[in-house]
Amino acid sequence: MTDSIDGPLRRKWAKLKRNKAALLGGILIIIYVTSALFAPVLFTGNPSAPDLMNSLESPSVDHPLGTDELGRSILGRIIYGSRISLLIAVGVVSVGMTIGIPLGLVSGYYRGKVDFIIQRATDTMLAFPGFLLALALVAVLGVGLKNTVISIGISMVPLYIRLVRGCVLSVREEVYVEAARAVGTRDVIILIRHILPNVMVPITVQTSLSMGTAILFAAGLGFLGIGIQPPTPEWGSMLGSARSYLFHAPHVATFPGIAIFLAVLSFNLLGDGLRDALDPRFKI
Amino acid sequence: MNSSVSFLIKLAAFQASCWAELYMLNYILKRLLSTIPVLIGISLLLFFMLRMLPGDPAQVLAGQMASPEEIENIRHQLGLDRPIYIQYISFLGRLAKFDLGRSARTQNPVIEEIWARLPNTLLLAVIAIALACLVGIPAGIISAVKPYSWIDYLVSITALFGLSMPVFWLGLMLVVVFSIVLKWLPAGGTGSWQHVVLPSVTLAAFVVAFIARMTRSTMLETLSQDFTTTARSKGLQEWVVIIKHALKNALIPIITVVGLQFGLLLGGAVLTETVFAWPGLGRLIVDSILARDYPVIQGTILIFGLLYILVNLIIDLLYALVDPRIRYD
């Protein structure tokens, strides 16, 4: 019995481990998480404290990635910035999943009028490209960490609704669901115990890819000056302020960009690897 | 006898063409009707957007500097003292006439502000999508023709890098290389063809990865189909098999991706226009959000939504032209 459960899982895990790109993505994510958790150990100073005597310095032994316009260490701000970015990524997918998964389950399971209403609302949200929807929501909610997470999270909701609904439509016709219904199991129990576990594979893949997108969107909003506000060390807003010093100190704009790129790449690599290992049929 | 047979054949052909046109008309009508709920959804979103803001919507629309008379004027215009459904109906009436109010910053009609900037965004988007197709489709074809070769890996890795790269950072790095170090191209602004190069390349890089990936996967599928094997066995040259047989059949998913990427491109335009100080709709919406100019924010969001719907509608109608099975479905 244990073998029948462990066997496929082990095979999938072995397949994931063999995927070098996914492994690289996983290692990069571990590095980011470690630097986020141990930021005060890795950088002992205050990443937001200005030091105007050392502004716009090139990379040196004291400041391996140089300093910004206020003399703050770019390395220190990137390390602390990983906290913000990971916090946003986790927050965004939590909002997206908390709203999107139940709506997708209900929409696909009950069909009919409920499905029609949820799907038309989803269509409306999908009529706006994700980043623009987040931008519109920020315009209403205002700037800051909480509102950035809510805005980007809501822009992810239609993706989860569509994904979950699509999977539920096929799973609800399975014999075990019909059997559960036949013995009088309540719909909530059927949805949580029988259907949800069977749609977890695409949700897992989507979550990894969405975390990369969330980091990219948050950095975009920060860059435009309508996301996380200075002096909080956030990669996008670091790039936004570096724009004014591009001619004199291009390094100020180079390193935060590399940090964003590698973070997004790591989640994309892991997402692709998970998709190939868990179920190659689910092409997102 | 002969003439009656030929008459019957002509009649059958005419009948078939009539049916085909009828199916096409039916398809167009269905597709147009399907946009109505989305349009209603967008109007509701815009309508409640203002009402979700803290404070008096009339004050919000008039801006911080407005006089009490101006605020009262807007309140009367919006009918804020009337029931909410009446307000919504009158809002719909104004939207239908493209009366989007006046900018709180400049006091110009919002629609004028939008029309002045729309061509710039469209120019950037069209050049970017053309560039992305010119690079992405051949790259995807080469990748599919030589799967698991070094060139396939190179295309796949470049595409993955493209998907992960922040568009605004790429723009800044292009400015560093081509404007600051090499001094070949201007760092921003408008006025000549040189000004278009960096923003459109930046924007194209944003979508080229998706197009290359989709072209590769659909071409791999069509290249393994029976009809390509038949074409090869007839002794056709390989490039004829690839272009005339495989690519032609892979076009629909590629068109879909190009259409979907247009939306991504509009999102990317907001960031690219900021990097290159390009006076388009993207820049307009960011400036308006920073200045809390809500009439312009509402208007720009509406136009972005309509543009996206229009492009997807055109793409859907293109499918029906390319593949008759779709209109008979």
pLDDT at B26 over 90: no
- Report whether pLDDT(B226) > 60: yes
Q: Which residue numbers of A have CB closer than 8 Å to B's CBs?
A: 120-121, 123-125, 127-132, 135-136, 138-140, 212, 216, 219-220, 223-226, 236, 239, 242-243, 246-247, 250, 253-254, 256-257, 260-261, 264-265, 268-269, 272, 283
Which residues from chain B sit within 8 angstroms of residue A242, using beta carbons?
Answer: 172
- pLDDT value of position A1: 41
Cβ atoms of A119 and A158 closer than 8 Å: no
Interatomic CA distance for residues B79 and B76, integer angstroms = 5
Q: Which of A82-91, B239-248, B281-290 has the lowest mean pLDDT?
A: B239-248
Q: For residue A205, what are the contacts with CB-CB under 8 A and spacing of at least 6?
A: A271, A274, A275, A278, A282, A284
- DSSP-derived letter for residue B278 is -
A2 belongs to a structural domain: no
Q: Could you read off the pLDDT of A110-127 as tens digits, one per residue?
A: 988 999 999 988 988 888
Q: What is the CATH number of the domain that holds A153?
A: 1.10.3720.10
Using 50 as the pLDDT threshold, list the residues of chain A that sit under it. 1-4, 282-284
Contact assessment for residue B182 and residue B206, using Cβ atoms and an 8 Å cutoff: no
List the single residue in B with minimal CA-CA distance to A212: B164
Q: What is the pLDDT of residue A284?
A: 41
Window 244-263 of B, Cβ < 8 Å to A: 263
Instruction: Please tell me what DSSP assigns to residue B66.
Output: -
Residues 6 or more apart whose Cβ sits within 8 Å of residue A234? A81, A84, A85, A218, A219, A222, A227, A228
Helix (H/G/I), strand (E/B), else coil: B109: strand
CB atoms under 10 Å from CB of B149, counted, come to 12
Task: Report the gap between the CA of B113 and the closest CA in chain A (Å).
Answer: 18
Residue A90 CB burial class (10 angstroms; 0-12, 13-18, ≥19): middle
pLDDT at B210: 86
**Looking at chain B from residue 202 to 221, which residues have their Cβ under 8 Å from any Cβ of chain A?**
217
Tokens at B325, concatenated: 């099975």
Tokens 């009337």 sit at which residue? B82
Residue A136 lies in a domain: yes
Burial (0-12, 13-18, 19+ Cβ within 10 Å), B206: buried
Which residues of chain B lie closer than 8 angstroms to A254, CB-CB?
A: 173, 176
Position A205 scores a pLDDT of 86
Pick A138's closest partner by Cβ from B44, B160, B289.
B289
The answer to whether the CB atoms of B172 and A242 lie below 8 A apart is yes
**Domain-embedded: residue A268:** yes
Are the beta carbons of A239 and B166 separated by less than 8 Å?
yes
Instruction: Tell me how close the Cα of B229 comes to any Cα of chain A, in angstroms.
Output: 25
Q: Decide if B286 touches A, using CB distance below 8 A.
A: yes
Residue A158 inside a domain? The answer is: yes
**Phi, psi dihedrals of residue B102, rounded to the nearest 5°:** -115, 150
**Residues 6+ positions from A86 with CB-CB distance below 8 Å:** A32, A33, A36
User: Are B301 and A257 a contacting pair at CB < 8 A?
Assistant: no
The CA distance from B102 to B291, in Å, is 14
Between positions 6 and 35 of B, the ones with CB within 8 A of A are: none
Report CB contact under 8 Å: A223, B173: no
Q: Are A82 and A143 in contact (CB under 8 A)?
A: no
pLDDT at B1: 60
**Inter-chain touch B289–A246, beta carbons under 8 Å:** no
Query: In residues, how long is chain B?
Result: 329
Task: Give the pLDDT confidence of B150-164 residue by residue, as tens digits.
Answer: 998 899 889 889 889
Q: What are phi and psi of A67, to 5 degrees?
A: -125, 160
**Token digits of residue A104:** 């997708």
Residue A2: its pLDDT value, please? 43
The residue among B16 and B246 whose pLDDT is bigger is B246
In a domain, A60, yes or no: no
Rounded to whole angstroms, the Cα distance separating A151 from A135 reads 8
**Helix, coil or strand: residue B285:** helix
A84 belongs to a structural domain: yes
From A182, A179, A208, select the one nearest A268 (Cα to Cα).
A208
Between B43 and B22, the higher pLDDT residue: B43
**CA angle, A81 as apex, A79 and A87 as ends, to 5°?**
120
Residue B253 token pair: 């998913």
Work out the mean pLDDT of chain B and round it to a whole number: 85
Q: Residues in chain A, how many?
A: 284
Residues 6 or more apart whose CB falls under 8 angstroms from that of A147 comprise: A137, A138, A141
Number of domains in chain A: 1
- Look up the domain containing A231 and give its range: 11-41+65-278
Identify the three-state secondary structure at position B104. coil
- Is A3 contained in some domain? no
Q: Which residues 64-123 of B have a C-beta within 8 angstroms of A? A: none
> How much is the pLDDT for A7?
67
Task: List CB contacts of B138: < 8 A, sequence separation 6 or more.
Answer: none
Q: What is the DSSP string of chain A?
A: -HHHHHHHHHHHHHHHHH-HHHHHHHHHHHHHHHHHHTHHHH--S-TT---GGGTTPPS-SSSTT-B-TTS-BHHHHHHHHHHHHHHHHHHHHHHHHHHHHHHHHHHHHH-HHHHHHHHHHHHHHHTS-HHHHHHHHHHHH-SSHHHHHHHHHHHHHHHHHHHHHHHHHHHTTSHHHHHHHHTT--HHHIIIIIIGGGGHHHHHHHHHHHHHHHHHHHHHHHHHTSSSPTTS--HHHHHHHHGGGTTT-THHHHHHHHHHHHHHHHHHHHHHHHHHHH-TT---
Within a domain: residue A59? Answer: no
Q: Do A127 and B42 touch (CB under 8 A)?
A: yes
| Residue of B13 and B116 predicted with greater confidence | B116
Q: How many CB pairs under 8 A join A and B?
A: 132
Smallest CA–CA separation between B144 and chain A, in Å?
17
Are A205 and A283 spatial neighbours (Cβ–Cβ below 8 Å)? no
**What average pLDDT does the segment B215-219 reach?**
88
Which of A124, A135, A225 is opposite residue B38, by nearest beta carbon?
A: A124
DSSP bridge partners of B99? none
Inform me whether the C-beta atom of residue B307 falls under 8 Å from chain A C-beta atoms: no
Predicted confidence (pLDDT) per residue in A130-142, tens digit: 888 898 898 888 8
Position A184, amino acid: G
Chain A nearest CA to B313, separation (Å): 11
Q: How far is Cα B113 from Cα A56, in angstroms, rounded to an integer?
A: 38
Contact B326, B31 (CB under 8 A): no
- Rounded to whole angstroms, the Cα distance separating A82 from A63 reads 18
Per-residue pLDDT, averaged over B166-170, amounts to: 94
Listed in sequence order, the DSSP H helices in B97-237 are 110-145, 150-164, 167-174, 193-223, 226-233
Chain A residue with Cα closest to B290: A226
Put simply, the answer to whether A260 touches B166 (Cβ < 8 Å) is yes
Closest CB to B163 among A131, A236, A268 = A268
